[in-house]
Amino acid sequence: MGTRRPLIVQMVHDPAALQPRCRLQDEGSEEFGAPLPESAIADAIVKRTQDHLRELGGASVSGKPIVMRAEWARNGEADSTPDDIMRMVREQAAPAHRLILFLQQSSVEWASSLWLHVVQEVDPTFSKFDNRLKEFAERWEVDRYLAATGYLPPSVKPFFVALPKDRQLQGSAEWRRQMADVDRAVFSHLRDGVKGGFDEDHFGSRIGFGNLKRFLEEELARRYREAAPATLALLQERCEAVAKELIALEARIQSCSDVASLRRAGMAYAASMAAHVQAILQGSSDPDPSQHGMSSEDERARCNMPQWPGVTEAVRPPNAGLRLFGGAAFERCLNEFQEAANALRFPSASVARDRIANVLLARKGRDNLGGATRAAEDIARQAARELLSPLLDAACARLAFVLRRTVDAAAERASRSGAGRELLQPYTAFHATLRAAHASFVSRLEAKARELLRHHLDAATSEFALGLMAGAADIMWPPAACGGGARLASDDGSGGCGAGLENLPPEEQEHDMLAAAMLPARTPFRPSQIGTVPETPSPGDLPAQQAAAAAHAARRSGGAGRQFVDNTPSKGRVPKAQRVEAGMAGGVGGGNCALPSTYSEVVSFAERLFGRIRSSVAGQAAPTTLKAAFLEPMCSELPTEVALELFARADGDFMAMFTAAGALATLQAKRDAVHRRAEGLLKCKTEFQELAKCL
């Protein structure tokens, strides 16, 4: 640490100071300030020096000392203190750019010096101030002393300089005159006062301050000559670099008013960024996945979606731990969405009997046909909308986040290799607007994808779609006569309900019995029935129509067995009483049907419909729709949409992205500063060239 003021250090033993405490004396009083940390002492001394010199009117040095008090409770000195001091001195004197001023008493012999060997280790070339001239009596003593034999290497040639003793302040001319007088006095004493004189040819050029000055000037000129070529080359290089910087600033200032060039550069940069987006979506290893890639868990965390809505299980798709971006992350997100959709479960336990009863009893009051089917369809439709709608919205949000990350990666690639990046690099507003345009386009794609998926969900839960999902079998829901009316729990049934199943194989019989209990009362749509309505019923429709007519007649009769439809070939073959008894036993309510309860049947059929809706929407329609809604527009519509948003504006609005308030003035001020620097370097190079010629 160096200071331009004297520094007085007071070492005080203070038993209360277990750790060293340093205080600085106030400038205007004898009091000491608060203790300072060890790391802040140097800064405090420098600050005090600068403030004091500023008060003196800008002086370089001052004789007013800085007083520092060091307080500590240490008893005695450590054994390593001399070594510590020696190491500190070596560290301070080691840098090559420092001058070592080594003073010692003139009466001390060189061999007895305590610090001479330290100076010799740091810098073997040194000189010593000595005033022992009058002790020399013979020539051999002077020659041995001037040769420094045994003290310095033979290659080192020391200078012997004597300075005036007058310490009074005086002018430079008087000081030079006194030094010249001292040199003449030294030479006169060596020539006349010593017996035999001295070897003036060998040592005369190294005695006196004048000879030292002459040697330094010649050495400086020699080093100038040796360094001139490299210095001129360095100056030329710096002049060229500053000239290039000045030309670039001039071009930037000119481009700030050139709308056409900015539009061309902006369009080229936007097109380059769109091309990078397409390349990343199609698959690319650049940029670094560690910077722009994310695992599946990281994506959910960044989207504020720790888990998929409605899914209680942990969803971990393939490659969930890899840091993916672009098209790879898009495909992984689609796989994760499908796994989450498959993990959705129909909420059977939450279906209340009241909801089923509201539908069944309302249908009983009208025609008593299809009440259980209507209840199952309504429950399945409501569950699908409640569970699938949030899941589809979450998928859109995740995929939009993946695309926004893709835009960030493309922007990073464009900043390194995009067209027009050199001209547009300093315009932060343009890059921000470009990012905003891409983000707005992705947001529009997200909104469009949500609408398409809602449309698919509404279509899949419509009455027509549910009719198609009911199945291909023509078995109707058991009529009211079989169970005696619509009830939430019915334990009895007709023995003839399963008569048509007795001749089927065991597997088909089990399948049709399940279908008879779960399929709706209405016949599912056939392909021939979807397009046209036949003029005459087909033979396959007769059993179903006859069963429906029988059920309708039974409802209109007001009681079982009073009125029925006689569909036997001939009334005369069987007595009417027997036919009525057969109708009572087969159609009204014997105890042979043994169907499960209506509630469990409705819930079971609703769960089946929910699974088909989930498969239709999440497994078939959603992946195709999401790819068409996100990926295709990003490749075909992105460049046009971004270009329209950025460049389809008036020149004034367009230039607002490039000429912010004060930006032009800042560029001009920087241009002027660089211009002044270029002129200074050019002048320095010219002067050094002239100086090199004179060396």
Q: Checking DSSP bridges between strand 66-72 and strand 7-13, what pairing results, if any? A: parallel
pLDDT digits (tens, 9 = 90+) for 296-310: 888 888 888 888 888
User: For residue 118, which amino acid is it?
Assistant: V
Span 90-96, average pLDDT: 85
pLDDT digits (tens, 9 = 90+) for 130-170: 445 566 778 888 888 788 776 667 777 778 887 777 666 57
Span 123-127, average pLDDT: 64
Q: Which residue in this structure is represented by tokens 């004493």?
A: 189
Length of the chain: 695
Q: Checking DSSP bridges between strand 21-24 and strand 66-72, what pairing results, if any? A: antiparallel
Per-residue confidence (pLDDT) for residue 579, from 0 to 100: 46
Per-residue confidence (pLDDT) for residue 400, from 0 to 100: 93
Per-residue confidence (pLDDT) for residue 133, from 0 to 100: 58
% of the chain surpassing 90 pLDDT: 14
Mean of pLDDT over the chain: 75
CA–CA gap between residue 330 and residue 168 (Å, rounded)? 88
- Which tokens in the block code for residue 277? 């987006």
Conformation bin of residue 477: beta by default, left when phi > 0, alpha when psi is -120 to 50 = beta
3-state secondary structure 307-344: CCCCCCCCCCCCCCCCCECCHHHHHHHHHHHHHHHHCC
Determine whether 458 is exposed, middle or buried from the number of CB atoms within 10 Å of its CB (0-12, 13-18, 19+): middle
pLDDT of residue 13 exceeding 70, the answer is yes
pLDDT of residue 360 exceeding 90, the answer is no
3-state secondary structure 49-68: HHHHHHHCCCCCCCCCCEEE
- Please name the helix (run of DSSP H) or strand (run of DSSP E) that holds residue 547, with its range, or none: helix 542-557
pLDDT digits (tens, 9 = 90+) for 530-565: 444 444 455 555 555 556 655 555 544 444 433 434
The answer for residues whose C-beta is within 8 angstroms of residue 391's C-beta and 6 or more apart is: 308, 309, 310, 311, 337, 340, 341, 344, 618
Among candidate residues 381, 537, 533, 549, the one with its CA nearest the CA of residue 467? 381
Spatial strand order in the sheet of 7-13:
7-13, 66-72, 21-24
Res. 371 pLDDT band, cuts 50 70 90:
low
The interaxial angle of helices 371-417 and 598-614, nearest 10 deg, is 20
Name which residue leads in pLDDT, 281 or 367: 281
pLDDT of residue 20 exceeding 60, the answer is yes
Per-residue confidence (pLDDT) for residue 678, from 0 to 100: 93
pLDDT digits (tens, 9 = 90+) for 201-226: 888 888 888 898 898 888 888 888 88
Q: How far is CA 426 from CA 161, 429, 633, 656, 668, in A?
A: 61, 9, 30, 14, 15
pLDDT digits (tens, 9 = 90+) for 381-428: 888 888 888 899 999 999 999 999 999 999 888 888 766 677 777 778
pLDDT of residue 445 exceeding 90, the answer is yes
CB 478 within 8 A of CB 588: no
User: Which DSSP string do the residues of 386-411 spell out, in sequence order?
Assistant: HHHHHHHHHHHHHHHHHHHHHHHHHH
In this structure, of 280-289, 393-402, 518-527, the range with the lowest mean pLDDT score is: 518-527
Is 0.85 surpassed by the pTM of this model? no
- Please name the helix (run of DSSP H) or strand (run of DSSP E) that holds residue 10, with its range, or none: strand 7-13
CB 318 within 8 A of CB 335: yes
Q: What is the DSSP letter of 195?
A: B
- In sequence order, the β-bridge partners of residue 70 are 11, 22
User: Could you tell me how far CA 517 lies from the centroid of its own chain?
Assistant: 58
- Which tokens in the block code for residue 570? 């001939």
Res. 193 pLDDT band, cuts 50 70 90:
confident
- Give the number of other CB atoms < 10 A from CB of residue 224: 15
% of the chain surpassing 70 pLDDT: 71
Give the phi and the psi of residue 379 in degrees, each rounded to 5. -65, -45
CA–CA gap between residue 2 and residue 4 (Å, rounded)? 7
CB 483 within 8 A of CB 595: yes
CA atoms within 13 A on the CB side of 6: 4
In this structure, of 361-370, 535-544, 560-569, 631-640, the range with the lowest mean pLDDT score is: 560-569
Angle at 216 (CA atoms; ends 162, 62), nearest 5 degrees: 65
Among candidate residues 113, 25, 17, the one with its CA nearest the CA of residue 71? 17
- Please name the helix (run of DSSP H) or strand (run of DSSP E) that holds residue 262, with its range, or none: helix 259-282
Among candidate residues 647, 651, 676, the one with its CA nearest the CA of residue 249? 676
Among candidate residues 34, 25, 73, 74, the one with its CA nearest the CA of residue 52? 25
Span 256-264, average pLDDT: 81
